[in-house]
Amino acid sequence: MKNSKLVTLPIIFILVVSMLLIGCSNESTSSNSNSRDKNEEKVVLKLMRPGTVDVVRDIFEPMVADFEKQNPNIDVEIVDLGWGEYDQRLATMIATKTNPDVQLVSQGYLFSYASKGAYLPLDDFIDDELKGQITDTLWEAGRYNEKIYEVPATPGADMIWYNKELFKKAGLDPNKPPQTWDELIEYAQQITDKTGVPGLGMAGKAFSDIWNTFATIYQSKSGKPLYDEKSQTFNFDDSVGEESLQLMVDIVNDHKITQPNITEYTRGDLRTLFRDGQVGMLIDAPFIISALKTSIDIDSPDTFVGTAVVPKEENGSQPFFGADGWAISSNTKHPEEAWKLLRFLVNTENQYTHGVKYGFGPAQKDVAAKPNYQKPYWQTAVKSLDTGFSRMKSENFISLDKILVEMVQAAITGNATPKEAIDKAVEANKSLK
């Protein structure tokens, strides 16, 4: 009797566990089907705008409420995601086909993933009004393999940010920013020598920022973008490329006009130094504005903040720019509704609110005409966008990003000569094919 109990007990246990599991799974299926029935007439869309969660929600919750009011058959859920975990989470979302319907995509990642079919081409959705609102340069930034995958929304080109007070102390004219790269070095040297404050902030930490500066120098010197989309090769594999990288090396090591220990700094860290008057000049995009506004009034007529387009060479000022934009996931079951939401988010008012609260340049002509964008620094930002080249268009963008970071870091830390660093990057790009 006792023995038979011992035999039957484990069997009963397994049966009970199995039944419980089956029960649970049935329950969840039925609850799913119930909720499906309830929401049959409602479309639920997921919206993702990576960034600081509080700021994102502050901007988008009211917009979503308005959208839902205008479209009672559509519910919108906001998905929170910080930039810090963006690359991992996005890759996982795409791999598991849980990519939100409508999302702001980092431009470089867009090309990597669009090439794998993760995003819908938007050409058939884009109306003439929207087409006319956005400049060709910006549309080009979101075009890949002849198709448009994003509606550009957060453009920002490199420009010069300089401290007028330090200019005055160094005996420079605060209304005459540097016009050439040589002048930029000369001014930075003067600020360093006369005020003791480093004349130019330079990022050297292993982040994308460091090759953005190289791109800006190279593009202005060569008049070419960093990367050739058709041949999928680096354009800087030439004497101008070497000269541009050498210029960065000289700025850091020979002229000694940057803050010390550059490998500790990203552009984000430098923004704080500039805000606190601890560097004379920076090359940075308008994303710096929100960092400056935390403790100084840059809109005051007495502000120490001055701006200028990046130095010109023979080909003019051709800065690097990024333009993340709104895209629609190819997993969406409701492309029409997703476009409706996307279109709503980029109408003039919403685009303006998004831009002003988050701190990026105007992507649309009507938005650029709004009062906020008439301020001097925004005017420089708009001008910079007109002549810039955007990020590399390649399905290998994320790998290229790493290759360029390693190239610039190796050169500026003296681990390789500019020629060696460029050769290594070119070889690494070849191995990606």
Residue 34 touching other proteins (CB under 8 A):
no
Residue 294 touching other proteins (CB under 8 A):
no
Contact residue for other proteins among 409, 418, 422, 425 (CB under 8 A):
409
Q: Considering the complex, what minimum distance in angstroms separates the CB of residue 167 from other proteins?
A: 22
Residue 86 touching other proteins (CB under 8 A):
no
Given the rule CB under 8 A, which of 245-253, 345-353, 363-371, 409-417 is the region that contacts other proteins?
A: 409-417
Residue 426 touching other proteins (CB under 8 A):
no
Is residue 69 packed enough to be buried (19+ CB in 10 Å), middle (13-18) or exposed (0-12)? exposed
Nearest to 322 by CA among 187, 142, 173: 142
For residues 300 and 431, which CB has a smaller minimum distance to other proteins in the complex? Answer: 431
Nearest to 362 by CA among 388, 350, 147, 342: 350
Q: Considering the complex, what minimum distance in angstroms separates the CB of residue 317 from other proteins?
A: 30
Question: According to CB under 8 A, which residues from 136 to 195 bind other proteins?
Answer: none
For residues 3 and 300, which CB has a smaller minimum distance to other proteins in the complex? Answer: 3
Residue 65 touching other proteins (CB under 8 A):
no
| SS3 (DSSP) at 397 | helix
For residues 72 and 117, which CB has a smaller minimum distance to other proteins in the complex? Answer: 117
Computed from CA positions of residues 324, 327, 331, 333, in that sequence, does the dihedral angle turn out positive or negative? positive
Residue 209 touching other proteins (CB under 8 A):
no
Residue 263 touching other proteins (CB under 8 A):
yes
CB 397 within 8 A of CB 194: no
Contact residue for other proteins among 232, 233, 330, 413 (CB under 8 A):
413
Angle, nearest 10°, between helix axes 181-195 and 209-222?
Answer: 130
Residue 259 touching other proteins (CB under 8 A):
yes
Residue 207 touching other proteins (CB under 8 A):
yes
Contact residue for other proteins among 56, 76, 94, 356 (CB under 8 A):
94
The CB density around residue 233, as the number of other CB atoms within 10 Å, is 15
- Token digits for 261? 């220990």
Q: How would DSSP label each residue in 102-130?
A: EEEE-HHHHHHHHTTT-B---TTT--HHH
- Listed in sequence order, the residues at least 6 apart from 195 whose beta carbon sits closer than 8 Å to its beta carbon are 166, 169, 170, 280
| SS3 (DSSP) at 384 | helix
Nearest to 137 by CA among 392, 393, 390: 390
Is residue 67 packed enough to be buried (19+ CB in 10 Å), middle (13-18) or exposed (0-12)? buried
Instruction: Give the integer Cα–Cα distance in Å for 15 and 45.
Output: 41
Question: According to CB under 8 A, which residues from 8 to 27 bind other proteins?
Answer: 10-11, 13-14, 17
Residue 353 touching other proteins (CB under 8 A):
no
Question: According to CB under 8 A, which residues from 377 to 406 bind other proteins?
Answer: 398-399, 401-402, 405-406
Contact residue for other proteins among 178, 199, 201, 204 (CB under 8 A):
204
Instruction: Please report, as ranges, the residues that interact with other proteins according to CB under 8 A.
Output: 3, 6-7, 10-11, 13-14, 17, 87-88, 91, 94-95, 112-113, 116, 118, 204-207, 259-261, 263-264, 273, 398-399, 401-402, 405-406, 409-410, 413, 415, 432
